[in-house]
Each structure stands twice: as structure tokens, then as C-alpha cells.
Structure 1
């Protein structure tokens, strides 16, 4: 059978674009890609990139006060949201243009249209065209969801935050995951009065208990009204504001309410069920270790599979797909020991297992302290450095850092942990002094066993 293409990719996010351009540009495959919205996907358009730029913007709020402690007389400034937003959108337009040019340069034919599955080798475009391909790769990502709360339609999600015409004076953020916590810190740093509800005992479930406790303490100390064991049960319009009733019976009004309570894969209406492609209860595509679905010609990568919902992981999955299908080198996706960061203030960087999830006897090396830069000016800022070490093998099974720029530190620590470094390997490494990160290689005595 003759096909229009060797590969048709549905979705123009980071994973789909990488797979398309590498397959076309490096293996000579004939490739097409369809994207119904903007190229770059969640990460570039409504996720990692604009969020991190907002993190940078929010951190300048402390500049004048901190600088005064070092002898500088810098007038306190005023944050101009619209000036920032204008520049932000221009940057996202620039990045989307790069994605389009990369695809064109690799010889990928692109369609600005929604694509749905007709059969194992055919897609239907919303423009009316039908295309066939030997292989189809689905990389449609995910989207934020609203909970089943009365009046939830009055709230916004993380997709909307970058398009606000003005920042509210007060905002309620509902959720305790990394998206909720990051935006709580961002908006607080931009001068918004932030209240955060989380229904559980502590924010950042799944992260190391000691690390998430310190993040929560620092968020409260810096002005976030963080309330655990609390949830919103009803939202009502109150003039230009939103009146919120919580599980404790309290009633407050806010300029905006942001729900960051979950995301769902973008699989609805794509035609999976009719073809026999299995979906999980939450709609995620079921794939094997090679990202292949139950239909041999159809593969899926990235957030639509709900494995590790991180941009670099989607890119790695895309590369493994190309190696498997177009280079004749079956390559299972490696989801072990993935470093990640939560861009709260301070940041949380993590790789490997937590203390609670070690699954074997371990020794814990941990220290919290006031870093030099802010201790000098009398700040109570605190940071954490922590290692989880196997008693049997002495391998460092987990590394957890709460500190400014923890994301930068954990990237490098992740190399050592991935390589199987032992505690003694860390001990043999000479410290870089004076730095916060030197504590990672100078902790000699375990604080406890677990």
C-alpha cells in the first residue's frame, strides 16, 4: 500500500515537533504534522516558558529591600503587568516562529488544522483533507480541568493567567500541586494578595516531606495565606468579584479564583475508541515501553500518555520513537531517575526517591540553614540540602534541594545520581566555597535511619 507520508504527527508541542523534524531531517522520512492551535504546545505557549518568565519578573519585588541591606539606595518600584505581558506575548510569538521554521527547515509539511483518526493509517483534517501515513504519532498533550464545584465556571485556569488584562488585588488559588504553588509565589511576588486552599494535609504531595514542609513554611513567611485541609465548595458572582464559600464555612471575596486542581490528556474526539486504542480511566493513551499503542501503526508520546508529564521527557520519548521506528534501533523510554524542579520561591529540585518511598533501609543526610546572601541582611530565609542513601550499597538514591536556583543545582546532581554515585563519591568531591550547594558534599554524619 502506498501512503502519503511515512509519518503523520498529531500535535505541535515539544515532543511532536522534535519527533517530526528529526524523522524528516535526519532519517529522510516523509513527514507531516497537524496542529490545531499554536506551535510549541503547553510548554512554550501556556506552560514552562511563560511561567518561568513570570517567576523572573516576580523575584524583582524584593530587590530594593535586599539591596538596601548591602548599602544600595534603590527606590522601590512598581510592577507594570501590561508592559510585562506585552513583552511576554512577543517572546512567545518569536518562539512559535522558531518552531515553525525548524519544521520547515527539516522538510516537514505542516497543517494548521485539527486532525482526527479515521483508521490505523488515515487522519481527517478539519480543513476537509484526508491524509494517509505508514505511522501515526499522537502528541496532543493535556489541558487543565475544572473540579465539580458549584460555580467553578467563574474561575480561571493556568491557561488564562497569561492573558489577564490586569492583575487582581486578591486571588484565591485552589490546589496544592506544583502549578498551584508556583503561581501562588509568582503572583505574591507581583504584589497580589494570595490565598491558597489545599484539601490535603500538606502541599506538593509526592515530593519529599521535609522539602515540601520547608517550601510551605517559606511561602507563608513571604506572604501567601496558605490553608491546608481546606477546599472551595461554592463560587458566586458578587459584582466584579467572586464570593467563595470554603469547607470550613468561611466566606471571602476575591478578584479572581484560579483552579489548579488537575489536568487531563487531550484525547476526546480523536477517534481512539473506534480503532481499538486503549485509554486509561482519565483518558490517557495506553502505550508500551516503546510508546506503541494496541494498534501497531499508532504511537503516542508526552502528556497524552500521562506517564511523566514533563517537556524534556516528551522530547526524549519522541527521540526514542524515531530510533525505534525509523532507525531500526528499538529504544524503550527511560523513565528512571528523572530530575525535576518546582519553581516556587525558594525552588525545589529533586531527583530519585523520597525518604518515605525509599523501599529499603536508608540513611538520611540533611541540613537546613540560612544562606549567606540573605542571612547577611537579617533575612530568615532558609534552605535545605538532603540525600537519601542506601545502607546496603551506599548509593545516593535521592537528592532533594530547597533553595534559590535549586533547579540549576539538581540538573548537575542528577548526573551523579543517574550514574549510581555513592555517598563516598560525594564525600570525595571537593566543596566549592562559599556556596549553598557545598553542603551536598560536606554532610558527613547521617541525621537518622529510615
Structure 2
């Protein structure tokens, strides 16, 4: 064992702490842990680094000043405190690993701060607005009076306070799991030797650390297309959550789920909304039934869709403070308060020194990984939006936990990895979309047209039943079940309409378990609900069920 000079009193105190917790003492100093085997060493601190970590962890950080071949500061360092990174860190710590998370921003990443969570709050607000608009059909009056109003600053303040509470919950969860939190911007050291350098957020001197395993989970960020005045006179999806007032007239640019979600929120809350798409329609990668139904519903709600524009050419600021948007196809949109660019995202990797560490990147800068989240650099892993493969928060969480299982969970988890097959996805558009598996076009390409059978249904939800309007004017729910082979294995399920977001999870489980059309038919319907349509699709019950109806 290497001998390191320390104060005898400190040595005895440290041995007592570690022995009490059942740890194995190998060698340590007041600022260095060597060949540790227990998370108990998280209590060893460096007085020179106090004040550079989050207060909850001010007595837990072990620092590094020089690297030696067999010495590590941590078993696992996670760069990025988003949902995926934190999930992986806490899972690793549960196995006794010594873990640190480095983050320069607010805890929770995109999802908590400028993504899923605040977006869902605004979607809820927009849904309430839609219900208020509909209340006359159920005998309620007063919508057209001054009795009902919407206060954007109120919901913004309430939403922002909620996000701050979530930031605190993430911090406490990490503290309770024994994870060290380091405030600063991290980069990999040259040569891929398991080291990182951190520029502390408080402006103090750069600190170096070394770990057996390093995970990159830094997420992504919204990008702006080129064009005169585009970046200067528009906001990103991040900027949407900084708006102090509801825009009077807005232009949303993009054809993906972020664009249609935010366009739907704005329109429902009272903004005159324009959606600009480069080609014919939004959501082109989704099943054609979802794409076409959403297109119809957005138009019915009053969203003006500008098609085949090839994007924005320029944005100019007028003397009255409003903006004029010039599109590449010659169209011009005037009198605009807010231009929101939702045309793309990129991985947040620019400051990580990936090339120097031997981490290879693919198209658009995404980190290349294998099925086990391993990069091309030994001991360096990546997951989530930096990889560009199914950029969903629950996907990143599952990937992070499986990675921690494999690295620290023992032999029984040596082959642990996440599955990217049959991942349920919800788009919080108006109306919402739920989808899992392949599209109809993908199924035909994969299985052959003769081996694919498609079941469809389109109807007005019972909610709209009492409305005294023409049937064609009632919002529609669309459903599609895609089956393959003689057994009619369900390989795709798609739904758009009221309640689609909440009904998908259960169907996702069934499809992951290999459900067939006969299995769906064998489940007795819950009436009256929209979801019952999936288990009663015509023709019903013609395949022999094993159990059920």
C-alpha cells in the first residue's frame, strides 16, 4: 500500500468514519481518495474547494490536484444535471459508487426548466381556455362578457415558482443519494485518461478531477436558421418561457413537435398565430393519419399555416416596434409581435473538448455511441439529446439507469442496456397525439404490403355529442392500429384527439409485451370512453383469442 503523509488525528478520525460505515480503507489524504471501495469517502473534504459546490454538498467534495495512474476522485462523474444524468448518477450511488455531477445551469436540464414541464403547464392553461370557449355547449354563459379574462403574468409567475421548487427537489434528491454536485463548466482532458477540468461558476481557479467512468449528458439547445435579422428579431423555444406578456400576433417557424405544441398554446390563449413550414405540412415524420388530422384541426382552430415556404428569408423591425417576416417563397407576414423559431436543435457539446479526448461525433455534432452508451473513448459514455437518438426525457432516464446498472450493479447486470424499440411518444398539440411503433408506410416497407393489415377509426368524441353544430365542424379523434403477419402482431398504434396523451401508456405496455389484434379484441371495452375504440375496431373478434371476450 502506498503511504501518504497525513495528520494522525485526521487519519484516526477518517478510519473511524469509514469503519463505522463498513468501508475498506486503502489509502487517503486530506484532499485525495485512493483506491476507494465505498461511498463513505464522500465525507472526505477539501477545505480549499469549499464554496465551489452547491451548499447541500459543501462537506462532501473530494478534490484532485494531480493525476496518478491508480488514483481517482470519483467512480463516476456525470457532466450535465438533466433528468438523464441525475437518474444515472443516483442509480450509480445506490450501488455504493462515489459519484459527482457537474452542472453550470439549473438542475433538471431542458425538460424541467424550458421543456416538458413548463410546456405542459402552458398546455394545461390552453386546455382550460378551450374548455371555457366550449362551455356554452353545456349550458354555461358568460364567456363573451368581461367576467372571464386571462392573466399571462400570473401563470408565468406561478409556473416559474413551480420550476424553482422542482430545482430544489432535484438538489435534495441528489443530496439524499450521496451524490456530489459541482457547479461549473466541465471539459474532458486530452488523451482520454479519465480526467475532466471544471471552470467553477463562482469564477475561482480551474479544478481537475479524475474518474473511472465519465458520462456526458449535457443535452441540447435550440438553433436559429440563417437570414437577415432572424436571430436578432426572434426568440427560441427557450425564449417562449421568458415572455412577459401574451403576444397579440405571433409567427411560429418549424414543422416539428415543438412548433405545433407552442403554436397550439398561443392560439388557444388568444394569440393570432401563424405557423410557417418549409414543405407541405408539419409533423411529416409521423403517420399520415396523425399529420393530416392535426393539420385539419389546427386550421379549424384558426391557425394560419404557410406552406412550402422553404423557411424564413429575413425579419425586419418596423418603426412601430412590430416585425415583418419575409419568407423564401415571397410571402410576407406583417404586424408581428413575436417570431418564435422552432426549426431545429443541436447537441450541447461545444465546450467538452470531445476531439481532444478521442470522442467521435457524427452528423450535426451528435456523439456516436453503441448500444451500451459507450463512446469511442474508453471509459467515456453519452446519452440523451447529445446522441440524437429518441430525444425524450424518459428515454434518457431509462438509458442512464441501465448504464449505471451495467457499470456498478455487479455481474447480474453485465449486459444491461436500454431498448429503443416501441417507445411511446406523446405530442402535446391541440389536440394531443399519442404514437408508438412504426407508421403505416414504415410497416409496408419492413414487412411487405401483403403482410400488413391496418385498422382505422375516425369519430367525434362523446364530449362533442351535445354540441348543436354540424357534424363536420366537431373536432375529430383519429385512431390507427397497424398489424403484421398471420398473428396480426400490433406493430404500430397511433391516436390523435381528446385524451390521447393519457391513454397511450397502457397500450404501450401491451405492445411491448407483443400484443396481437386478438389480444386487443379479447379485452372488454370500457364504455363510454375514446380508448375503447382500440379494442372494438372493426372487424372485431375474428381472430381466436386465448382468453377474454
| Bucket of the pairwise TM-score, normalised by the shorter protein | over 0.9
Q: Which runs of 5+ in 1 are unaligned?
A: none
CA-to-aligned-CA distance 1:66-102 (integer Å, 9 cap, x gap): 2222122344521111000000000000000000001
* 2:433 equivalent to 1:376: no
The Cα of 1:232 is off from its aligned counterpart by 1.7
Pairing 1:23-422 to 2, within 5 Å after superposition: 23-24=92-93, 26-76=94-144, 77-118=148-189, 119-127=192-200, 128-153=206-231, 154-230=233-309, 231-239=311-319, 240-253=321-334, 254-328=336-410, 329=413, 330-358=415-443, 359-360=446-447, 361-377=451-467, 378=469, 380-422=474-516
Deviation at 1:12, TM superposition (A): 0.3
1:441 maps to 2:535: yes
SS of the equivalent of 2:356 reads helix
- Report the 3-state secondary structure (helix = DSSP H, G, I; strand = E; otherwise coil) of the residue aligned with 2:214: strand
TM-score (norm 2): 0.79
Q: Distance in 1 between matches of 2:284 and 2:143?
A: 40
Is contact 1:385-1:401 (8 Å) kept?
yes
Mapped partners of 1:197, 1:291: distance in 2: 36
Cα drift, residue 323 of structure 1: 1.1
Distance (whole Å) between structure 1 residues aligned to residue 353 and residue 220 of structure 2 = 16
Q: Secondary structure at the match of 2:441?
A: coil
Q: Deviations over 1:184-223 (max 9, x none)?
A: 0000011000000101222102110011100110011011
Compare relative contact order (CA 8 Å, sep 6+) and give the higher one, 1 or 2.
1
CA distance in 2: counterparts of 1:243 and 1:68, whole angstroms: 37
* Counterparts of 1:322 and 1:64, CA distance in 2: 47
Unaligned runs of 5+ in 2: 1-69, 201-205, 541-549
Inter-partner Cα distance in structure 1 for 2:71 and 2:300:
64
SS, match of residue 399 in structure 1? strand
Q: 1:120 aligns to what SS in structure 2?
A: coil
Distance 1:221 1:255 in 2: 23
Bigger Rg, which one: 2
CA-to-aligned-CA distance 1:153-203 (integer Å, 9 cap, x gap): 121000110111212110101111000000000000110000001012221
Alignment: residue pair count: 445
